[in-house]
Amino acid sequence: MNERGLRRLEADYCSWGDAVHSLEPPKIFAGCEGCFLYDSEGTPYLDLQMASATASFGYGNKRLNQTLKEQLNRLPQLGSHYLHAEKVDISARIAQLNEKIFRKKGRVHLNVGGSPAIEDAVKLVRNATRKNPGFAFMGGYHGRTLGATAITSSYRYRRRYGHFGDRAYFVPYPYCFRCFYGLKREDCGLYCLKQFERLFETEYYSVWDSRAGECEFGAFYMEPVQGTGGYVIPPKEYFVGLKKILEERKILLVDDEVQMGFFRTGKFWAIQHLDIVPDVIVFGKGLTNGLNPLSGVWAAEEIINPQIFPPGSTHSTYAANPQGTAIALDVLKLLEEQDYEKKVNEKGARFIAQLKELQKKYPRIIGDVDGLGMALRIEFCREDGSTPNPELTQCLVQEGLKGNLKNNGRNYGLVLNVGGYFKNVLSLSPSFEISHEEIDLAVELLDQLLVRCIK
Ligand SMILES: Cc1ncc(COP(=O)(O)O)c(C=O)c1O
């Protein structure tokens, strides 16, 4: 069927409730390979968002695709009441790795999709602490199921539907380029952290019973690098201080690594950059290179042992499915076999250096370039260097999808992702396998887009 026919059917028969219509008209792709998506005419689009930050090892990754094919031939599905080797092996590997990194024994519970895994984390916390509400960050994103939206800051996701349970108490994230309090990191003395700690000074600030020595909130849900919030990289000192405050008040720390886990930031978990130990980790996305929606949570033994979290506590038909666990297991083997810390950091540094050069060409308009590993951000501003410029950012995305940029006499497109509190950030999550030439091409195409869009 041609594109016109597809669009007509989509308009009549597809729900528009997902994210597809955030771009008009939605772009249709027909194929993918390596770092590229292809439209029906075969035009290559260099992809800097890689299937919503899932396909870290590239499209059509031969090894991982082969693993999936082999699993399809051997044990493609299994009733969720039975065990298969891959489920046990992947859970043990993640738990053993965390034991090594954090010196904490724990267990893994698998599910499908980031949001359902977040729901599992919320269940674990509520069950272990007997407290429903939690703290979470402004600008945080944890998914759009009802429980997840209660800890995701945007009211937009709750407005029509409300939420189950208690809405989180949202506190400002240490987003230093746009400090909530209007301060500068050089001399702020971590004012935002001090403001958070003040909540515990007296019961009259609403969260703390000083006689019982107990907080009303069971956990703090956080992203070590904010994803949807615009790849915001926080100062480590903030989180070292936050962890101390939480630990002293017996508040659990839930680390949402759905977008940043599995070396996106150059370490296995992004929280390793912050030198703190979480009680729960939630993961998904990169775990299967985007080939299967497998996700999961790791939790410390005291929160997830079979006495406290007994059989049937949570369940989903496709959780721990054989295809997903087989690919995930191979992803972990791949990460063990090759030095991804080195690879991701080297390529990320090369990419950032070039983006900083681009920033020199468009000073102020490119207000901020930053990155950790291969989680990269470009924040666009107006001529004053600080007012957010969402119109420019949107233009770059739309123009990139036209597929008529030029390089060496060939047409290209560029696939970009908009994020940020003001929708003025390009959050880039390129493939770990991107070549130096492809990084050069990405920056060249970005430059062409800027020339087109800067009015
Ligand atoms: C940090 C984070 N948590 C949770 C989610 C929700 O995951 P999913 O979209 O798979 O439900 C996302 C999705 O982008 C995410 O970035």
Expressed in angstroms and rounded, the spacing between residue 149 Cα and the centre of ligand 1 is: 11
In short, whether 114's Cβ falls inside 6 Å of ligand 1 is yes
* Burial zone of 398 (CB within 10 Å; 0-12 exposed, 13-18 middle, 19+ buried): middle
75-337: CATH topology: Aspartate Aminotransferase; domain 2 (3.40.640)
Cα dihedral 187, 223, 65, 414 in deg (nearest 10) = -50
Expressed in angstroms and rounded, the spacing between residue 383 Cα and the centre of ligand 1 is: 33
Whole-number Å distance between alpha carbons of 190 and 188: 5
In short, whether 141's Cβ falls inside 6 Å of ligand 1 is yes
Expressed in angstroms and rounded, the spacing between residue 97 Cα and the centre of ligand 1 is: 23
Tokens of 44: 């290559």
Query: pLDDT tens digits, the chain, 455 residues: what are they?
Result: 899 999 999 999 999 999 999 889 999 999 999 999 999 999 999 999 999 999 999 999 999 999 999 999 999 999 999 999 999 999 999 999 999 999 999 999 999 999 999 999 999 999 999 998 899 999 999 999 999 999 999 999 999 998 777 899 999 999 999 999 999 999 999 999 999 999 999 999 999 999 999 999 999 999 999 999 999 999 999 999 999 999 999 999 999 999 999 999 999 999 999 999 999 999 999 999 999 999 999 999 999 999 999 999 999 999 999 999 999 999 999 999 999 999 999 999 999 999 999 999 999 999 999 999 999 999 999 999 999 999 999 999 999 999 999 999 999 999 999 999 999 999 999 999 999 999 999 999 999 999 999 97
Query: Residue 198's CB: how many other CB atoms inside 10 A?
Result: 10
Which residue lies with its CA nearest to atom 13 of ligand 1? 143
Predicted local distance difference test score (pLDDT) of residue 349: 98
Please say whether the beta carbons of 418 and 39 come within 8 A: no
Per DSSP, the three-state class of 351 is: helix
Predicted local distance difference test score (pLDDT) of residue 212: 96
In short, whether 119's Cβ falls inside 6 Å of ligand 1 is no
Residues in a beta bridge with 375 = 372
Expressed in angstroms and rounded, the spacing between residue 115 Cα and the centre of ligand 1 is: 6
Which residue lies with its CA nearest to atom 7 of ligand 1? 114
Which residue lies with its CA nearest to atom 4 of ligand 1? 142
Ligand 1 atom at minimal distance to the Cα of residue 115: 11
In short, whether 140's Cβ falls inside 6 Å of ligand 1 is no
3-60+339-453: CATH topology: Aspartate Aminotransferase, domain 1 (3.90.1150)
Predicted local distance difference test score (pLDDT) of residue 419: 96
Ligand 1 atom at minimal distance to the Cα of residue 113: 10
CA 326 from centroid of its chain's CA atoms:
22
Strand 418-419 relative to strand 425-428, pairing: antiparallel
Predicted local distance difference test score (pLDDT) of residue 164: 78
Expressed in angstroms and rounded, the spacing between residue 141 Cα and the centre of ligand 1 is: 7
Whole-number Å distance between alpha carbons of 335 and 357: 31
Ligand 1 atom at minimal distance to the Cα of residue 143: 6
Q: What are the structural domain ranges in the chain?
A: 3-60+339-453, 75-337
For residue 379, which of 358, 398, 400 has the smallest C-alpha distance? Answer: 358
Whole-number Å distance between alpha carbons of 280 and 104: 11
In short, whether 444's Cβ falls inside 6 Å of ligand 1 is no
Tokens of 52: 């919503």
This prediction has a pTM of 0.98
In short, whether 171's Cβ falls inside 6 Å of ligand 1 is no
Expressed in angstroms and rounded, the spacing between residue 169 Cα and the centre of ligand 1 is: 20
Ligand 1 atom at minimal distance to the Cα of residue 284: 10
3-60+339-453 against 75-337: fold identical: no
Which residue lies with its CA nearest to atom 3 of ligand 1? 142
In short, whether 118's Cβ falls inside 6 Å of ligand 1 is yes
Pocket mutation for ligand 1, best pick of 52, 111, 115 (most atoms within 8 Å of C-beta): 115
Pocket mutation for ligand 1, best pick of 122, 141, 231, 291 (most atoms within 8 Å of C-beta): 141
